Amino acid sequence: MNGRAFVLSSLAAALVIGGALAVFRPATGESEDVRPGYWIEKLQAPERVFDIVIVGDSRAYRGVDPALLPGRALNFGFSGAALDPHYVHTAVQKLRRGGSLVVAVSPHSLTARAREANAFDALQARHAADLALTRWASPAYAWTRPYTMSQVAALARGRAALLAPASPAETFHSGGFVASARPSVASAPETARVYAEMLEAHPVGEREIMDLTYLLTGYLAGGYRVVVLRLPVSPDVLEAERLDSAWLREQIVGTGLEWFECPPGDTYDGSHLTADSAREVTGALGRFLAE
């Protein structure tokens, strides 16, 4: 066999075997890792067209469904996003003049840690060709999703069940909302511990809230409506975060910004709302915004 034939037949074999593995790939839920294009679509959403833009971290994009809000809305939440001037300014660019900016505050989004390890900045810093390539190739990731060990074991046992469509654990909506179908939990001690440790090292206090209100009142003065809210978390996570919601509300309202009091909701990990709770919270927010 000569070199060219060897390479071509090897690549052909890779395509056949890879194709078979793609067909038999598990039909379970998607995750962020296999949808890199989703975040780029969100980042590249058109400017000056939305009536409402929601900003915040993963709690925001899992907690507010823009499809249920009045007018044209975009959930501009990103994992680990810091509520810093650069991020908020990018979000405001998406709003039409006089639109509503909904700010979902979480203690982590105000920390120095979030500002330093800013995933939003890292995404935005990628050059246009890189972003375009990733966005364009995004569907290929869904077809080349890796198998887990248990899925390999099931496949080796000839489990045709892998082919059966399963309910996705997460659904990525076009408006920027990620709905989780995971069951709710009453408490999440591990999440609470992680938050407690993180906020011990990076505390959030008056200074951080002042920075945020200073930033947001600028947009208020610029003719935008600014609504601040804090999405529900489990009681143990709330306690671990040591940020008093009543005090926070006082600070926000005291500067002329609007505060939206979220109704209670269930989380699937102590920190992020289940899809059902997210829709309930969004419904209430929609009524508040329509007032």
Site residues (vs another protein, CB under 8 A): 1-4, 6-7, 9-18, 21-22, 25, 125-131, 133-134, 137, 140, 144, 146-147, 149, 152, 197
Q: What share of the chain is helix, strand, coil (3-state, %, to 5)?
A: 55, 10, 35
Rank residues 125 and 290 by Cβ distance to another protein and give the closer one.
125
CB of 162 to another protein, least distance (A): 12
CB of 143 to another protein, least distance (A): 10
CB of 224 to another protein, least distance (A): 27
* C-alpha triplet 148, 143, 11: angle, nearest 5°: 95
Rank residues 13 and 186 by Cβ distance to another protein and give the closer one.
13
Q: Indicate the helix (H) or strand (E) that contains 96.
A: strand 95-104
Rank residues 17 and 253 by Cβ distance to another protein and give the closer one.
17
CB of 139 to another protein, least distance (A): 12
Rank residues 15 and 49 by Cβ distance to another protein and give the closer one.
15
DSSP result, 27-87: -----GGG-HHHHHHHHTPPSS-EEEEEE-SHHHHHH--GGGSSSSEEE---TT----HHH
Rank residues 44 and 174 by Cβ distance to another protein and give the closer one.
44
Q: Indicate the helix (H) or strand (E) that contains 259.
A: strand 258-260
φ and ψ of 179, to 5 deg: -95, 130
CB of 128 to another protein, least distance (A): 8
Task: Copy the structure tokens of residue 244.
Answer: 């008093």
Helix, strand or coil, per DSSP, at residue 107: helix
